[in-house]
Structure 1
């Protein structure tokens, strides 16, 4: 007879594998859209909406698969150790989206001024002052963020961190509940370690359900933050930001696998791992 929990875990991993494949495909589409000489903002916005819709659909599927086995998402077996160490309530911190924009803005601004000081000519000066288009071959870069955009991003950052802190407190409370009645006390009085009874099973089921609710709320915050960010940015900036996010997601996946492969080889072992940092 098949174990229903193993079937659920397979469904969860299949859902994740589909998501990773979609991430790679969307990354290619975003790169191609940004590399075009003529930037069609309408087409870019359509692609951006599709990317947001992808994440919304993925979050909905995660919520469905996590109703009784949500703990799988808090330390996925299909993840590398590196990725699991970076998880916040089953995915990335929503505020990391904003930190990525700040990092891109600083990097692209530094690149412009480096070109200016290296070449010391009028064309480079114009680029440094933002009077010509960015490094992507036409259209704005993150170094072209306006004062109004920066103000809105800062407001979003403060709001997001406040919401994160609230969810982190809820997560801490759920962790503390495991040493409360009946789970912690039952474990103390049990003669045989590992034995459970109906009361404990019900408490653990309730804990899984609460964790599933927390995961859904965290995914909702991730989606809201992502949506609000792309609304603040121009079409080109938003596409550039989403591309960077997907490249980072896939890179962490591959870096984690490479590190574990080297570790296994150093120990004289073998094997491979999967990966997830959800986000978007």
Structure 2
């Protein structure tokens, strides 16, 4: 999360400096975008190494809020969501440009800048490539989701389910341990394949976009990631804080409990 936050600062600085000078520094933008993609590559490689030890931890990380874990797909975001971010940015920037155009017609002074295209100015060729990639990625996501579903069903198979039913003890025998180890190995392969798809999708998007557009896209994605992390944390603090207050009221004999519940 610290790396994500640093990337946000770096991207904002480069984009703002370029806007103020009315000319984008393509070399600096390409260098920064390349470094961010490489950081993601290193993250995926390291996670693949560590997944062999405790893969389950990456499917529902303890450092995430419940909100974040509820949105995860194979331990991360869906690669197809990258394209959804682009579509959202295109619409948002187009609305901004329309507002600026209307202000100009009314005689208002609107600050702008010359230079490379923004996300609102994706050309037909770029949009076609993004759309084709979207369809391709969704198909690959579906295949990985089916594999995950099969693995989840396997947990109710021999010997895990039968052993759990036939004994009161929670201790697992050798057969169960071997089955669980095999299951975790399969999960590690799944998360590695998912990270590979995420990385491939990111690289292909960056190739389609101009350096400016790529920087805007990465900035938006990272802001979304960090914001969801913070929103989830705040919501849990508020929710669990209310729960603790209600427990305290109940311990005092219920005094003030109804008032607290209404406030929560």
TM-score, length basis structure 2: 0.87
Correspondence for 2:3 among 22, 34, 49: 22
Question: 2:237 matched to which residue of 1?
Answer: 261
From the superposition, tell whether residues 50 and 79 of structure 1 become closer, same or farther in structure 2 (CA, over 3 Å): same
1:238 is the counterpart of 2:214: yes
User: How many Å apart are 1:115 and its aligned residue?
Assistant: 2.6
Q: Deviations over 1:141-173 (max 9, x none)?
A: 111100000000001100100000000001101
Given that 1:68 and 1:205 are in contact with CA atoms closer than 8 Å, whether structure 2 keeps it comes out as no
User: How many Å apart are 1:193 and its aligned residue?
Assistant: 4.1
CA distance in 2: counterparts of 1:97 and 1:193, whole angstroms: 46
1:180 is the counterpart of 2:180: no
- The DSSP-based 3-state class of the residue aligned with 1:114 is helix
CA distance in 2: counterparts of 1:160 and 1:122, whole angstroms: 46
Q: Deviations over 1:242-280 (max 9, x none)?
A: 0111111111111011101111221236xxxxxxxxxxx
**Larger fraction in helix:** 2
User: How many Å apart are 1:67 and its aligned residue?
Assistant: 0.5
Q: Deviations over 1:64-99 (max 9, x none)?
A: 111031001111111100000000010000000110
Question: 1:87 matched to which residue of 2?
Answer: 72
Q: List aligned pairs for 1:93-132, cutoff 5 A.
A: 93-121=78-106
Larger Rg: 2
User: How many Å apart are 1:109 and its aligned residue?
Assistant: 0.3
Correspondence for 1:58 among 38, 43, 47: 43
- The DSSP-based 3-state class of the residue aligned with 2:235 is helix
Q: Runs of at least 4 residues of structure 1 off by over 4 A?
A: 121-124
User: How many Å apart are 1:119 and its aligned residue?
Assistant: 4.3
Q: Deviations over 1:185-218 (max 9, x none)?
A: 221222x141210000000001001000100000
TM-score, length basis structure 1: 0.82
- The DSSP-based 3-state class of the residue aligned with 1:68 is helix
- The DSSP-based 3-state class of the residue aligned with 1:267 is helix
Q: List aligned pairs for 1:1-280, cutoff 5 A.
A: 20-36=1-17, 37=21, 38-121=23-106, 138-190=115-167, 192-268=168-244
- The DSSP-based 3-state class of the residue aligned with 2:76 is coil
Question: 1:274 matched to which residue of 2?
Answer: none
**Aligned Cα RMSD in Å?**
1.9
CA distance in 1: counterparts of 2:126 and 2:45, whole angstroms: 30
Given that 1:68 and 1:209 are in contact with CA atoms closer than 8 Å, whether structure 2 keeps it comes out as no
CA distance in 2: counterparts of 1:77 and 1:213, whole angstroms: 21
Can you give the 5+ residue segments of structure 1 that lack an aligned partner in the other structure?
Answer: 1-19, 270-280
How many residues of Structure 1 are paired with residues of Structure 2 in the alignment?
Answer: 241
